[in-house]
Amino acid sequence: MTAILAIGEPMLEFNATARGPIHSVNHFAPGFGGDTSNTLVAAARLGASAAIITRIGDDPFGDALMTMWEEAGVATHLVSRTPDAPTGIYFIHRDDRDHHFTYYRKGSAASAMAPGDLAPKAIAEAKILHASGISQAISESACDTVFAAMETARDAGVTVSYDPNLRLKLWPLPRARAVIHQAASMSDIFLPSLEDAELLTGLSDTTAIVTTYLAMGPSIVVLKLGRKGALIARRGEIPADFRKIDIFPVETVDMAGAGDTFDGAFLTAYSEGRSLTQCGQFAAAAAALTTTGLGAVGPIPTREQVEELLAGDTKKT
């Protein structure tokens, strides 16, 4: 049985090795990205069985992704290769305040995903199906495919996980809100960032945001608060019982992919039957370690590294 099965768009990453405007950077480090792919790589490195449903180009970038997944331990038997559409790519550059993304993904192989690409038996046999707003924003057919996968999972009693990962360059806010909130109503675990949740709900109070999303249908809401940690709640709980997860202080180099790693670590711990507090702490530690290196995938930690950080934090307390 696959512990975590995800659907979405994988991409090749080119990450600026120095700070400054993109036109002033001379060197970019190649790597890998795509939110649900990052989540699966994190899960696999942390010990979970993982597999991806996607389309990639029959091109060198697609070859590189296949090699990366195989080395990471992510199963690729549900990946389709498309000869007439490319694998998407993106560039990252940073200034003193934040990192910025430039995408080349229009017409990508993943954007041609269709419900017929799905393998219902594989979905039904997974413990968790994970998807994201980006998975649905890249095209109408991809959006329909994600909803079809979620319906299949729900019918089979599979846990459905969803991260909004709102990208307003991909779709307008009203459309994004409608799709993401429908997905929230179909999810068991909903993992928004505070920034995304504020835009989607119009709310700023974290307790109100969590309560609002729990009312939409998820059993568990994990509100990621960036440098302030996370807030985790289960349906039926009162706000006083919500779990506040603190961050692990590290020397941050690059925040890219930290939220995706958080998702992968949380779902890995959840699939192992850990408590929600333990899931949150495990995820926070993994996400922190991911920020200590350059790129979305390269710095994703192993289970041993995460457990070492957790053990060190326990000794301090």
Q: Which residue is listed with tokens 């993982």?
A: 50
- What confidence tens digit (pLDDT) does each residue in 14-51 have? 988 888 888 788 888 888 989 999 999 999 999 999 99
At residue 313, the pLDDT reads 63
Q: Mean pLDDT of all residues in the chain?
A: 94
Percent of the residues in the chain that have a pLDDT greater than 70, as a whole number: 98
Q: Is the separation of the CB atoms in 235 and 220 below 8 Å?
A: yes
Long-range contacts of 113-118 (CB under 8 A, 24+ apart): 113/7, 113/54, 113/55, 113/139, 113/141, 113/142, 113/145, 114/141, 114/144, 114/145, 115/141, 115/144, 115/145, 115/148, 117/53, 117/55, 117/80, 117/145, 118/53, 118/145, 118/148, 118/149, 118/152
Strand segments (E) across the chain? 4-7, 11-16, 28-33, 50-57, 74-75, 79-82, 88-94, 99-104, 128-132, 159-163, 189-190, 220-224, 230-234, 243-245
At residue 233, the pLDDT reads 98
- Ramachandran region, residue 221 (left: φ > 0; alpha: ψ -120 to 50; beta: rest): beta
Q: Is 162's pLDDT higher than 80?
A: yes
Q: Which amino acid is at 85?
A: A
What is the pLDDT averaged over residues 134-152? 97
- What confidence tens digit (pLDDT) does each residue in 234-287 have? 999 999 999 999 999 898 887 888 999 999 999 999 999 999 999 999 999 999
Q: Is 165's pLDDT higher than 50?
A: yes
At residue 317, the pLDDT reads 41
- What confidence tens digit (pLDDT) does each residue in 72-126 have? 999 999 999 999 999 999 898 888 777 788 888 889 999 999 999 999 999 999 9
Please tell me the distance from the alpha carbon of residue 45 to that of residue 59, in angstroms, as a whole number.
26
Q: Is 303's pLDDT higher than 70?
A: yes
What is the pLDDT averaged over residues 5-14? 95
At residue 105, the pLDDT reads 87
At residue 73, the pLDDT reads 97
Q: Is 316's pLDDT higher than 60?
A: no
At residue 1, the pLDDT reads 87
Query: Please, what sign has the CA dihedral across residues 272, 273, 278, 283?
Result: positive
Spatial CB neighbours of 188, under 8 Å, sequence gap ≥ 6: 159, 160, 161, 218, 219, 220
What is the pLDDT averaged over residues 134-156? 98
Spatial CB neighbours of 307, under 8 Å, sequence gap ≥ 6: none
**What is the set of domains in the chain, with CATH numbers?**
4-312 (3.40.1190.20)
DSSP string, 131-154: EEHHHHHS-HHHHHHHHHHHHHHH
The tokens describing 246, both together, are 């603190």
Q: Is 297's pLDDT higher than 60?
A: yes
Q: Is 314's pLDDT higher than 70?
A: no
At residue 15, the pLDDT reads 85
Q: Which letter does DSSP use for residue 301 in this model?
A: P
